[in-house]
Chains A and B, each alone.
Chain A
């Protein structure tokens, strides 16, 4: 635990150093500072104290303990992997801390996209836990109401259930196919016959019947 804290403080120091020197901040990803990377997993763009533009102070502290793995797949069609929670809510300018526990024996990720790139290289916050491991990290969300994509980017993990959303404030719009929250984009179109097709079919049936029933000379 002490080692972890030490590592975290190193990461912290690196992040602060990177942000203090704006010219170097562009290269955070390239020179791999500001991150934890070892056999327990990976933390990228951990930021507990640098405020995004538009925030005067950290509005509140929000903390989530997230478990990941096959045990958390909701019993829906197409779900094999999952998180213990797929819908996260946080107020604007709040500091979000994620305690990420991996209950499987293989890697999983809690990766969030769409954060401001001047603060978070590639616009992402990334936690990755090796099998049976736990990692944690924090980030401060911007002031705008927005919905952020959270997922595991490993091949097919998002498609098979590891998709979630972080709704900041009122959010922008719900994402497709978030387990337990929204339906799949494809299944909706797949299961229901489009109204136009039904109308066309009905019109054809009626025309056929009318032609047939038309009085013959």
Chain B
């Protein structure tokens, strides 16, 4: 009897003490959905450990290449970027003129392929090209590797935070990293997928060159396009209804000839519940047709538009693209946990369950606070009209709040609102995939603006201003009046010392995100405990067997 009790105790103890590192991946994943990340993360061979980047960095690194300055490249006037980090002006010049119309030198400095954006004939004779051929590739950032112990091709959304990401990127050339020794992605490879600008009436071809190991498509949400291409093939990018997805190594061209202007959206439509959340989503803007229209066909990382269209010039002093989105590390870390695309596919399909998931990182223009302060500040002067094109590409709603200002909505989902429908408020609610064009009027009249300052601009839902629940973080940006901006582009503030937010340790959850390696004391204690319990079971079994044998023998006698 006592032996049976011991046997049962042994079995229970062994079950409890069995190291979770040895659970099946499926079970570990299910557990992680209930208990949080560590059980699942510690299983992975390649683990995204925020601890990999520990150096405390400068809040605003110096602009060594002079990318912030106003400049003229190949005749293209590029406005100064007032924020700390700025887009590569050579890429902007190539986006304006077309990569087929700039010198090799400009192209090399831009990092773009010669056919990334090909601009052709002026079809309506109004002085600007109307044949546009855009080529997009797909890049995986912070991905896994069969050899490395940390994510490869890194792109940090905030200090030390490198979730796995898929993004549409302009067609480029050469190395994907800054150099051979570096593990950091070039400035073209980042979140969000670039904001794309075309003109109403343009004949646009967009080729998806699928450089990724998963099938993808392009779907143009809110952009006028035919369901079928001229050759009868699908043009909507939906694998179920329109066409088969673009397989790895293959390319496919979509045709657009939009009759209406407006702020729209593009995204991948393959397994959209996960692919969109992984980052395959961008803003798509159709500008009003104007003579001699100058368009910056792509805005890398969205944000400040340094070469604005004619229509915007007529009514606005400045223009900003604001792309809001979120990431779920339970989803995005899957690509870091294995190098097997089939396993990744299975996790995405049957492992990850979006209905029981929730996002933990909230981004504006692909970064979270404090990095959002480097590039997504709206730098204003008094008495300006500033156009904000806002896309909520996140999985939940966005309660966009402007401190010190009430903005006026002129367009929803790209459609102009009639005069009396143009509401003015300080919180705009945008559902998933909705767009709003907001006018920020910096006239100090007590309604539109309360005057100069550093005014926050953020999602008013609490989680939106955190990095995995740690504040301040998330999609926090600010409207900063020039007198409150220092020469480097960093806001002059009177509150807390912001340097502490640039320490990755600040955003490390206690015992959370840092994954346990297999060789920890607790792992070995568990092994010993499990072994002892297993020994107990074995010995009890032996004794039981012996007892039984003995009993039988006795019975026979």
Residues of A within 8 A of B (CB): 32, 37-39, 42, 44, 69-70, 77-78, 80-81, 104-107, 111, 113, 122-124, 126, 128, 130-131, 153-157, 159-160, 176-177, 184-187, 189-190, 197, 200-213
Q: Which of B64-72, B233-241, B339-347 contacts A (4 or more CB under 8 A)?
A: B339-347
Q: Does any Cβ of A come within 8 Å of B177's Cβ?
A: yes
Q: Is the pair B533, A154 in contact by a Cβ cutoff of 8 Å?
A: no
Q: Is the pair B146, A213 in contact by a Cβ cutoff of 8 Å?
A: no
List the A side residues contacting B152 at CB < 8 Å: 156, 159
- A-B contacts, 17 listed (Cβ < 8 Å): A39-B113, A69-B249, A106-B210, A123-B180, A128-B174, A130-B115, A153-B177, A155-B140, A156-B143, A160-B341, A187-B146, A208-B531, A208-B534, A208-B535, A209-B539, A211-B536, A212-B540
Q: Does any Cβ of A come within 8 Å of B176's Cβ?
A: yes
Q: Is the pair B147, A186 in contact by a Cβ cutoff of 8 Å?
A: yes
Q: Does any Cβ of A come within 8 Å of B139's Cβ?
A: yes
Q: Is the pair A202, B147 in contact by a Cβ cutoff of 8 Å?
A: no
Which are the 6 A-B pairs with shortest beta-carbon distances? Answer: A208-B535, A204-B531, A212-B539, A184-B146, A104-B249, A70-B249
**Separation of A206 and B538 alpha carbons in the complex (Å):** 9
Q: Is the pair A202, B173 in contact by a Cβ cutoff of 8 Å?
A: no
Q: Does any Cβ of A come within 8 Å of B227's Cβ?
A: no
Q: Is the pair B524, A200 in contact by a Cβ cutoff of 8 Å?
A: yes
> Number of B interface residues, CB 8 Å?
64
Q: Does any Cβ of A come within 8 Å of B463's Cβ?
A: no
Q: Is the pair A106, B535 in contact by a Cβ cutoff of 8 Å?
A: no
In the complex, per-residue mask of B75-113: 1 if CB is within 8 Å of any chain A CB, else 0: 000000000000000000000000000001101100001
List the B side residues contacting A122 at CB < 8 Å: 179-180
Partner among B108, B177, B538 whose Cβ is within 8 Å of the Cβ of A209: B538
Question: Which of B146, B340, B527, B538 has the most A CB atoms < 10 Å from its CB?
Answer: B146
Q: Is the pair B141, A155 in contact by a Cβ cutoff of 8 Å?
A: yes
Q: Does any Cβ of A come within 8 Å of B12's Cβ?
A: no
Q: Is the pair A81, B141 in contact by a Cβ cutoff of 8 Å?
A: no
**Separation of A130 and B119 alpha carbons in the complex (Å):** 19
Q: Is the pair A213, B542 in contact by a Cβ cutoff of 8 Å?
A: yes
**Which B residue sits closest to A131, measured CB to CB?**
B251
Interface members, chain B 3-25 (any A CB < 8 Å): 6, 10
| B216 CB → nearest A CB, Å | 12
Partner among A37, A42, A186 whose Cβ is within 8 Å of the Cβ of B45: A186
List the A side residues contacting B536 at CB < 8 Å: 208-209, 211-212
**Separation of A160 and B343 alpha carbons in the complex (Å):** 13
Q: Is the pair B45, A207 in contact by a Cβ cutoff of 8 Å?
A: no
Q: Is the pair B146, A186 in contact by a Cβ cutoff of 8 Å?
A: yes
Q: A200-B527, A210-B535 are in contact. Are A39 and B139 (CB under 8 A)?
A: no
**Which A residue sits closest to B524, measured CB to CB?**
A200
**Separation of A77 and B338 alpha carbons in the complex (Å):** 10
Q: A32-B108, A177-B147 are in contact. Are A107 and B171 (CB under 8 A)?
A: yes
Q: Does any Cβ of A come within 8 Å of B543's Cβ?
A: yes
Question: Which of A38, A104, A106 has the most B CB atoms < 10 Å from its CB?
Answer: A106
Q: Does any Cβ of A come within 8 Å of B213's Cβ?
A: yes
Q: Does any Cβ of A come within 8 Å of B550's Cβ?
A: no
List the A side residues contacting B113 at CB < 8 Å: 39, 107, 130
**Which B residue sits closest to A198, measured CB to CB?**
B527
**Which B residue sits closest to A200, measured CB to CB?**
B527
List the B side residues contacting A78 at CB < 8 Å: 146, 339-341
Q: Is the pair B339, A207 in contact by a Cβ cutoff of 8 Å?
A: no
Interface members, chain B 133-162 (any A CB < 8 Å): 137-141, 143-147, 149, 152-153
**Separation of A124 and B137 alpha carbons in the complex (Å):** 24
List the B side residues contacting A205 at CB < 8 Å: 531-532, 534-535, 538
| A160 CB → nearest B CB, Å | 5
List the B side residues contacting A105 at CB < 8 Å: 209, 249-251
